[in-house]
Structure formats: structure tokens, C-alpha cells
Structure 1
Amino acid sequence: MNTKTILIVDDEPRTRQGLKKYLETWANGNYQIFTSSNGEEAIKLMKQHKVHILITDIRMPEITGLQMLRMAKEQCIFPVIIVISAYSEFEYAQEALRLGVINYLLKPISKKALIEAVEVAIKEVEKKERAGLIEKVVDTKLVNTNIQNLSNREPIREAIDYINKHLNNDLTQKEVADYVHLNPSYFSSLFKEHMKLTFSEYVTRRRIQRAKELLMTTNLPINDIAEESGYKTAKYFIKIFRELEGMTPSAYRKNNSERVF
């Protein structure tokens, strides 16, 4: 499991340790919680570790919380941000919102308010990760298939649904054509006309997309992923995967190690 990381940044030791204690009790070991006493230290830590949620004070010596957020943004570090402050000046809140802050808590912070803010932040992290996963596994050729007006071609829509539900089985064009009550030859030309891919190309690309999802979201061995994706042997699966993705399944998993569980 990929443990989520929370970073607390505050120059006041008492506040910093108090927030950490609250969160450690709530997290019960499910989250990794770091602390930093200043913005510079926090930036260094965020370069070394993937920080999912950043909780930071605004007013700190040397580098303010807002300056730190600008620096993080410039360096393409994008945690979900919660700002804490003893001040409620409007310009602070405005600037914080421009920098992508999702919550603004005023000191003294109650345990309830902190936990509620973190739970909202976790949902935002999960939303971002799902979006990132979709972006990584998407196959542009599948996206660009001509599925407009498929309501006028119900057999093709039914065929797509059938293929998607049976990716881990042996799938033949005749089997799917029979399922939608069409002659295999006519089904083949109709499918290519509307999908801009042959039947076999579509099935292969959907299987590899399924494999990419499994590689990123599970710890299943390559053999099992091959089977789940409809390939009888891992060797053949690896060959097809490399042809489409330019790398082996293992390399793909390693390159996309920020997995969603």
C-alpha cells in the first residue's frame, strides 16, 4: 500500500507538535506525518518525499507560508494545501486561494476542525490521483474512436459492452458478431467504419489499457495481470505490451510507482 504523507509547517514548536499529535491519534498509523519548522526546510523535504497534504502557517520568519507555496508551485510541487493562521486578513485568504489552498483555518485550531479539514483534503488527493491514473492509462486511439451516433448503431454499442465485459476471455470476431446477431463479415466492416479500428486492434488496445490499470492499482504479479487481461502466456502479453507502450509491463509499473490503492 502506498502510504499518504502529511507535512505540517509551523515555526511555533508547541503548535507544530500539537497538530502532529492530533493527526497521529486520528491516523492510527495509516498516514506518514512529517513536521518542518520553516519554509526552506519544508521545500527540501517536499523535494525528497512525495507530500500529499501540506498544512502550513502563513506568518513565519524568513520565508512566509505564502512565499513557500509560491516556491513549491514554481518547482512543480502540488500537494493539497491547508493554511493555518492567527490572522484573518482578507488579502491573506485571497492570495491563499489563488495558490490552490482548499481550506483556511484560524488559530487556535480545534481537533475537530483540523480533522474535518484533513478528511476533505484526503478526498481531494484521491480525486487528483484518479484523474492522474486516467490520464496515464488512457489510449488516445481508443478515445478518438468514432463512437458518436452509436445510438443509431445499437449492435456496435452492444458489441463494445460485450468486449469490455469479457476482456479476460478468449474473444473472437465471430463470437461477438453472433452475440449481436450479425454476419461476421458485415460486423467486421461495420465495426471498423464506426470505431476506426479493426476488431482485433480494439480488443488488443482495451486489453493493454486494462493491464495498465492493474499495473498501477495492484501488486498482482505480471503472470496474473496477463491472465486478467486475456493473455494465455505472460511472454506474449509482454511482447504486445512492449509493442504498444515502448516498454515492458514491469518498467511501466516502476515508472508509475505513485499508485492508487
Structure 2
Amino acid sequence: MRSRTILIVEDEPRSREGMKKILGVWAAGQYEILTASNGVAAMQILEEIPVELMITDIRMPEMSGLALVSQMREKRIQRQPSVILISGHAEFEYAQQAIHLSVVDYLLKPASREKLIESVENALKAGEEQENIIFMRKMTDPQLMAVREEEASLSDPIRQAIDYMEMHIMEPISLQEVAGHVHLNGSYFSALFKEQCQMNFSEYVARRKLQKAKEMLLKTNLPIAEIASRTGYQTVKYFNKLFKEYEGMSPGRYRTMRNGMEGHVQ
């Protein structure tokens, strides 16, 4: 399990080492604290190592902190860290540019130990929330999302059917079972579902079950056979076949690739 990383970019050695010492004690080994004396060195680190948070001075020779953040946002580095800017001058122009660059916080020198740690904790929390949002968007099935977004326009029986399926998604679900729950004839329910959801009942169930399976693949260490069972599939072979049909890869490869791409440690 790799330690997460905080990068301090500051051309003044005393200030740079002071912040490193404060954050090193605060982190207690949970974060690796790296430093760079200028923007060029910082970019090299950002291109090689995933960084959760970057704290950078604004006024530095060669490349300002604002230029560093701007360049970082333009490049496709491994991950975009949260940013805290530090300045010895309370200049409105800096604050304006910081907002434009989506900087999490703006500290004035000299920042106290308490203020620095508070700012770091808030920035890391904001970064985690943003990462979770991006992660869930990448994992979500767009066709299921489209149904959810149009939920208000669905008829009561279809909404009730979807709610029922959500409650029983980890069990085998049949069309007749759900149709009976909403008091409709099976054939009529099937046609109504396809008309309103733009996919047939069996496809919706398959997509929703695979969505649940993907969550378990990424968030747990459960064996694939157990995940197949927990999503209502009687055989792993059929689960693997269906997963590959929809995702273009096996469940095992999906777990390996996504964990590697997102940096999530299971």
C-alpha cells in the first residue's frame, strides 16, 4: 500500500523545511511529504508521482506558483492534486486567479501551524470528495443514468417496478414477478417498460446487476464467484459471459484495470 503524497513548492529553504517538518509530524507516516524549490522541479515530480495535495508559494523565480498551477491543469498528469497557494502579499489579483484555477485555499505568510494544518485537512477532504464524484461517474452505466434522470416522467407502475428491483437486485428477478408486484399483465408490463425506459426489462436488470457487481469488484476483496452469487447469478460462467458482453472484459480484468487507473487500494 503506497503512502499518499503532499508536495510543498517553495523557493525559500527555511519556509520550505518548516512546512515539511510541521506536516511530517501531523501526517505521522500517513502521507509522504515531498518538496521542490521551484516550479520546474515540481512539474517533474507531478508528472512522475500521483500527488494528493500541492502547497505552493506564488512568488518564485523562473515559474510563479500561479503559472505552475496553470501548467499543471493543462497537462495530463497522473492526477490533478488539490492546491493551496501561499503568498506574502494580500493582493486581490492573486486571489482572483486562484479562484479561476480552482485553488482550494489561499494562505498569507507567515501561516501559523494551526492554520496550515487546518487548510491541509480541508483541502485533502475536498480532494477526496471530488475524486469520489469522478470515480462514481466513470463507474456509472450511462443508460441507467438516463432512466434515472427521466424518472419524473415515468408512470407510477414503472417507478414502482424500478424501486422493487432496487430492493431485490441481489436476488434472481423475473419479469412475471415484477409485473405481478405492480399488478400488471406480463406482456403489457414488458411493452410499457421498454417504451418508457428505452430498453427491455431483461437488459435493465442485467445492467443494474452488473452495476452492483462493479461496485463490489472495486470496493471489496470478495471473490468473483461470491460477487456473482450476491448479484443473483447461479453460475460464475454465466456472470462472466454477461459481464464481458457489457464491459468488453472479464470481471477480474475490470477489477485490475480500474483499481490501477483510479489508484484505489482494495
For normalisation by structure 2, the TM-score amounts to: 0.88
Are the equivalent residues in 2 in contact too, given 1:147–1:194 (CA < 8 A)?
A: no
In structure 2, relative to structure 1, the CA distance for the partners of 1:226 and 1:19 (3 Å cut) is: farther
In structure 2, relative to structure 1, the CA distance for the partners of 1:111 and 1:233 (3 Å cut) is: farther
Name the residue aligned to 2:132.
130
In structure 2, relative to structure 1, the CA distance for the partners of 1:29 and 1:220 (3 Å cut) is: farther
The residue correspondences of 1:1-261 to structure 2 (distance < 5 A) are 3-77=3-77, 78-145=80-147, 147-150=151-154, 153-257=155-259, 258-259=262-263
Aligned partner letter, 1:157: R
Q: CA deviation at 1:36?
A: 1.7
Deviation above 4 Å: which 4+ runs of structure 1? none
In structure 2, relative to structure 1, the CA distance for the partners of 1:88 and 1:223 (3 Å cut) is: same
Over residues 135-155 of structure 1, what are the superposed CA-to-partner deviations in whole Å (9 max), with x where a residue is unaligned?
Answer: 2112222223353422xx222
Aligned partner letter, 1:70: S
Q: Report the 3-state secondary structure (helix = DSSP H, G, I; strand = E; otherwise coil) of the residue aligned with 1:84.
A: strand
Provide the C-alpha distance between the structure 2 equivalents of 1:21 and 1:245, rounded to a whole number of angstroms: 46
Aligned partner letter, 2:11: D
In structure 2, relative to structure 1, the CA distance for the partners of 1:44 and 1:220 (3 Å cut) is: farther
Over residues 228-256 of structure 1, what are the superposed CA-to-partner deviations in whole Å (9 max), with x where a residue is unaligned?
Answer: 33323332222111111112222222332
How big is the alpha-carbon RMSD for the aligned residues of Structure 1 and Structure 2? Answer: 2.1
Q: CA deviation at 1:3?
A: 5.0
Aligned partner letter, 2:27: A
Q: Report the 3-state secondary structure (helix = DSSP H, G, I; strand = E; otherwise coil) of the residue aligned with 1:101.
A: coil
Q: CA deviation at 1:260?
A: 5.3
Q: CA deviation at 1:221?
A: 2.9
Aligned partner letter, 2:102: G
Aligned partner letter, 1:197: M
Aligned partner letter, 1:19: M
Provide the C-alpha distance between the structure 2 equivalents of 1:213 and 1:122, rounded to a whole number of angstroms: 23
Provide the C-alpha distance between the structure 1 equivalents of 2:27 and 2:183, rounded to a whole number of angstroms: 55
Provide the C-alpha distance between the structure 1 equivalents of 2:3 and 2:215, rounded to a whole number of angstroms: 19
Q: Structure 2, unaligned stretches of length 5 or more? A: none
Provide the C-alpha distance between the structure 2 equivalents of 1:159 and 1:196, rounded to a whole number of angstroms: 15
Aligned partner letter, 1:134: M
Are the equivalent residues in 2 in contact too, given 1:130–1:260 (CA < 8 A)?
A: no
Aligned partner letter, 1:208: L
Over residues 80-106 of structure 1, what are the superposed CA-to-partner deviations in whole Å (9 max), with x where a residue is unaligned?
Answer: 110012222222222222222121101
Over residues 190-224 of structure 1, what are the superposed CA-to-partner deviations in whole Å (9 max), with x where a residue is unaligned?
Answer: 22222121111100001111222223333333223
Structure 1 stretch 220-229 or stretch 84-93: which is displaced more? Answer: 220-229
Q: Which has the higher contact order (CA 8 A, sep 6+)?
A: 1
Q: CA deviation at 1:50?
A: 1.3
Structure 1 stretch 105-114 or stretch 123-132: which is displaced more? Answer: 123-132
The percentage of counterpart residues that share the same residue type is 49
Q: Report the 3-state secondary structure (helix = DSSP H, G, I; strand = E; otherwise coil) of the residue aligned with 1:144.
A: helix
Q: Report the 3-state secondary structure (helix = DSSP H, G, I; strand = E; otherwise coil) of the residue aligned with 1:35.
A: strand
Provide the C-alpha distance between the structure 1 equivalents of 2:144 and 2:2, rounded to a whole number of angstroms: 29
For normalisation by structure 1, the TM-score amounts to: 0.90
Provide the C-alpha distance between the structure 2 equivalents of 1:221 and 1:32, rounded to a whole number of angstroms: 32
